[in-house]
Structure 1
Amino acid sequence: MTLAAEVYLGHVRAESARLGEVGRMGLEAAVPSCPGWTVDSVLRHVAQVYVHKVEVLRLGALPKPWPPDFGGLETLEWYDEARAEIVEALEKAGTSLETWTFNPRDTTSAFWYRRMAMESVVHRIDVEQAHAVVTPIDAELALDGIDELLYPNLAGPWWEEGDTEHPVDATVRVTAAGRSWTIRADSTSVEVTQGAEGEAAAEIFGDPTPVYLWLWGRAGDDAIQTAGDEDVVRAFRGRLAESTK
């Protein structure tokens, strides 16, 4: 956890509220960054994520079997119930409850405070883009979101079998607001270190929000600046997409 728990919880509340507000502008609008998805798809996805994490926090483990049949639930009603439930579950758990996470370095409920804030803001952007009403992301949240996306999402222990179409096999540096991350990737591993030490085959930089959205595939290449090998930049972006499926 980088920001304070109450800050993350505040973002969960605010971002999920905005997501629901924009959802009510029309569920059938297409989401440009997620081909085949509509606003309805996003709200139902986020509702299921919230409900799943409520169960994770309740059980301290993955719920099995999963998922139950949510097909008969009305989207907006279900979403509103789910977002209230995740806030309540996080508040009840606090930040020191031992539970399942996908972060080898943090198996406490603190992980889910951060993850649910990031889940909420990225999908808030999705529905805003669908309705062309995009609003800013808090810069500190975006900067922290870059950090979270790079580890554990990208650099977790997922690659040992070489299961990637984007081996990269290079060092990449990401920089925003004076903070840098150096990423060394090959077909079987990704390692992230803080700072800008050493040479990099490619660099990606800009303000926190456009860098964050580009990393998540919610902004085009014109949102960021790059230097070095453009093939490495493209391969790195592909590896990120694989890690967030």
Structure 2
Amino acid sequence: MDHLAVLGDLQSEFLETTRRADPDVRIPWLGRWTVRSLVVHLSRIHHWAAAQARREQETPLGRGPFDLPVLYEECARELRETLAELDPGARAWTLLDDGVPRSEQVGTVAFWHGRQVLETLVHLWDLRTAIGERLEVDDVLWLDCLDEAVTVMHPRQVRLGRVTAPTARVSFASAGTDAMLEVRGAPADATEAVVAGPVEALALIVWGRLGLDADGVEVRGDRGAAEALLAAGLTP
């Protein structure tokens, strides 16, 4: 996958939607957030990620108020240009290395190529869904999104002491693919649960956007274990 090309496409869709969305529309699954909150958040994340890739502290954007499309366009461009200029194999500050001894750190600029694609994907879904529109993207992106939550974000949550290691073996089975992703850290003899369904729904479940009652999703085995894992949070 050409992550920078995909990132540019998703950012273009986000910007286009920002230009016509009412900034005061609420996004209920994100607490008190509105479209305005979401656009400012993703702008700040792009700005911050560009600095992380450069191994620099970002210059704060300030409190606003902001012209939302202008803010987002500037921060999106900064991120793309930064990632395009840097060697993907160069060392960078990444989430992979949080809580890891310096001698074992492995993060590179390439991490931010994929991470920002998925950050933009989820928030584009938030934005489109908030204004009643469907987002159509290839399932491979949703599979990457699910994989990142299970194999990168949740281990980081455990490593930083934000959640405890799981006590049950919970896996996510994507309908229509051979993908079966198991959350790490549970004892081998622990009770098991399998959450199966469309890959988009599974990705949105682990990112806290949908619940286990989402269309097409079924839980086999210990449903309570799956509910407890999701309630604790696989992602920040």
Give me the TM-score of the superposition, normalised by structure 1: 0.82
Residue of 92, 97, 102 corresponding to 2:85: 92
Kept in 1: contact 2:168–2:190 (CA 8 A) = no
- Give the 3-state SS of the residue equivalent to 1:222 in structure 2: coil
User: Of residues 41, 44, 66 in structure 2, which corresponds to 1:45?
Assistant: 41
Residues 161/134 of structure 1: CA separation in 2 closer, same or farther (3 Å cut): closer
Contact 1:118-1:145 within 8 A present in 2 as well? yes
Change in CA separation of 1:54 and 1:103 when aligned onto 2, cut-off 3 Å: same
State yes or no: 1:213 paired with 2:177: no
> Which whole-Å CA distance do the structure 2 matches of 1:162 and 1:82 have between them?
31
What residue number does 1:82 align with? Answer: 75
In structure 2, the partner of 1:115 is: 115
Partner amino acid for 2:17?
A: V
1:16-54 Cα offsets, whole Å, 9 max, x none, are: 111122222211111132110001101100000111112
Is the CA contact 2:191–2:222 (under 8 Å) kept in the aligned structure 1? Answer: no
User: Structure 1 218/163 Cα, relative in aligned 2: closer, same or farther at 3 Å?
Assistant: closer
Matches within 5 A, 1:53-68: 53-58=49-54, 60-61=55-56, 63=57, 67-68=60-61
1:16 maps onto 2:49 in alignment: no
In the aligned structure 1, how far is the partner of 2:140 from the partner of 2:185? 26
Aligned to 2:100: none
SS in 2 for 1:205: strand
Amino acid corresponding to residue 77 of structure 1 in structure 2: V
* CA deviation vs aligned residue, 1:44-79 (integer Å, no higher than 9, x gap): 000001111122223x24x17x64524243222111
**CA contact under 8 A between 1:98 and 1:109: conserved in structure 2?**
yes
Q: Describe the superposition over 1:70-127 as per-residue Cα deviations: whole angstroms up to 9, x where unpaired.
A: 4243222111111111111111113111111111464100100000000000000111
Alpha-carbon offset, residue 10 of structure 1: 2.0
For the Cα contact (< 8 Å) 1:167–1:239, is it kept in 2? no
| Counterpart residue number, 1:27 | 23
* 1:155–1:167 Cα change, 3 Å: closer
How far apart in 2 are the matches of 1:106 and 1:146? 22
1:159 alignment partner in structure 2: 158
1:172 aligns with 2:170: yes
Give me the whole-angstrom Cα distance separating, in 2, the residues matched to 1:18 and 1:38.
Answer: 18
Contact 2:10 2:124 in 1 (8 A): yes
Query: Structure 2: which amino acid aligns with 1:91?
Result: A
Secondary structure of the structure 1 residue equivalent to 2:107: coil
**Equivalent residue letter for 2:229:** F
Query: Are 1:69 and 2:67 matched, yes or no?
Result: no
Aligned-residue sequence identity (percent) comes to 23
Which sections of structure 1, spanning at least 5 residues, go unmatched? Answer: 192-196
Are the equivalent residues in 1 in contact too, given 2:18–2:68 (CA < 8 A)? no
Give, as a single letter, the amino acid of the residue that structure 2 aligns with 1:229: D
| Structure 2 contact 169–190 (Cα < 8 Å) conserved | yes
Give the AA of the match of 1:18. E
Shift of 1:136: 1.9
Contact 1:27 1:40 in 2 (8 A): yes
Name whichever of 170-179 and 69-78 sits farther off: 69-78
User: Would you say the 8 A contact 1:32–1:129 is kept in 2?
Assistant: no
Shift of 1:220: 3.0
Q: Tell which deviates more after alignment, 112-121 or 72-81.
A: 72-81
Paired residue type of 1:101: T
Deviation at 1:168, TM superposition (A): 4.1
| TM-score, normalisation: structure 2 | 0.85
State the SS of the aligned residue for 2:213: helix
> CA 1:110–1:163 in structure 2 vs 1: closer, same or farther (change >3 Å)?
closer
